[in-house]
């Protein structure tokens, strides 16, 4: 019942390549009709962070006990709680 909260959906099955290729994020921004400067990716994997970096999209790495081995060096911010994504905390990264 989450559909009303999203503009569109995309599946990896619809893509030519998977992460770390940025195709999924570029296509999602296109579906949303938003420039990448207005987008944010929340990722918990090295390949997801790399793909969103290659797309030029703001990257929030979600770190949990299940993702301790991932490399988040290319993330803009690292969060362990979604409360850390409050607008006041991340607005400095957007124009």
Cα–Cα distance, 34 to 84 (Å, whole number): 23
User: Per-residue pLDDT tens for 6-65?
Assistant: 999 999 899 999 999 999 999 999 999 999 999 999 999 999 999 999 999 999 999 999
Q: Determine how many CB atoms are found less than 10 A away from the CB of residue 67.
A: 15
Tokens matching residue 49? 């962070």
Q: Please give the model's pTM, rounded to 2 decimal places.
A: 0.88
Can you tell me the distance from the alpha carbon of 86 to that of 42, in angstroms, rounded to the nearest whole number?
Answer: 13
pLDDT at 4 over 80: yes
């Amino acid at each position: 019942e989450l559909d009303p909260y999203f503009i569109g959906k995309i599946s990896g099955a619809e893509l030519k390549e998977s992460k770390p290729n940025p195709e999924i994020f570029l296509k999602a921004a296109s579906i949303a009709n938003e420039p990448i400067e207005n987008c944010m990716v929340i990722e918990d994997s090295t390949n997801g962070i790399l793909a969103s970096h290659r797309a030029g999209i703001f990257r929030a790495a979600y770190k949990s006990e299940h993702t301790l081995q991932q490399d988040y060096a290319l993330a803009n911010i690292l969060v362990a709680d979604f409360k850390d994504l409050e607008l006041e905390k991340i607005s400095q990264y957007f124009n």
